[in-house]
């Protein structure tokens, strides 16, 4: 499996308020760290399924963080605070997940791994 290359989308950075250079740098450092960890996990994997499983675990953590930041938005608004940073991080997590699914054939492996996990957990369509 080829190395993963991730980036912070320009629209996310453009939507940050003036003077948010530290946040932009934090996002870029975070994405670079995620990219490094993901590539190490892929390199250490014995096969493509194990690599996809490692990436899927990261995606699931990102989905949890995305939901957490999404929950912050109404709470911040209720307290009269700007939710712009929560929205920016939420958008970043969603975009990184999309980048991972768009990477070469990784999306197919991720879908197969997610489906395999659903079956291992005993969830069937009839249970829904």
- CB contact at 8 A, 16 and 84: yes
Domain boundaries, the chain: 19-127
Burial of residue 23, with CB atoms counted within 10 A of its CB: 0-12 exposed, 13-18 middle, 19 or more buried: middle
Q: Over the stretch 4-57, which tens digit does the pLDDT of each residue have?
A: 999 999 999 999 999 999 999 999 999 999 999 999 999 998 888 888 899 999
DSSP state of 47: S
Task: Report the predicted TM-score, pTM, of the whole model to 2 decimal places.
Answer: 0.84
Q: What is d(CA 2, CA 99) in angstroms, rounded to the nearest whole number?
A: 14
Which among 15, 17, 39, 22 is positioned nearest to 95, based on CA atoms? 15
């Amino acid at each position: 499996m080829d190395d993963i290359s991730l980036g912070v989308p320009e629209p996310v950075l453009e939507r940050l308020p003036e003077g948010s250079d530290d946040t932009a740098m934090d996002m870029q450092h975070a994405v670079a760290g995620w990219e490094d960890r993901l590539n190490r996990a892929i390199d250490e994997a014995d096969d493509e399924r194990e690599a996809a499983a490692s990436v899927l675990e990261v995606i699931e953590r990102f989905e949890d963080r995305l939901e957490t930041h999404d929950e912050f938005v109404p709470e911040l608004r209720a307290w009269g605070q700007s939710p712009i940073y929560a929205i920016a991080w939420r958008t970043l997590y969603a975009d990184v997940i999309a980048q991972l699914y768009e990477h070469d054939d990784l999306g197919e492996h991720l879908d197969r791994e997610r489906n395999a996990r659903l079956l291992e957990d005993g969830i069937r369509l009839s249970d829904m």
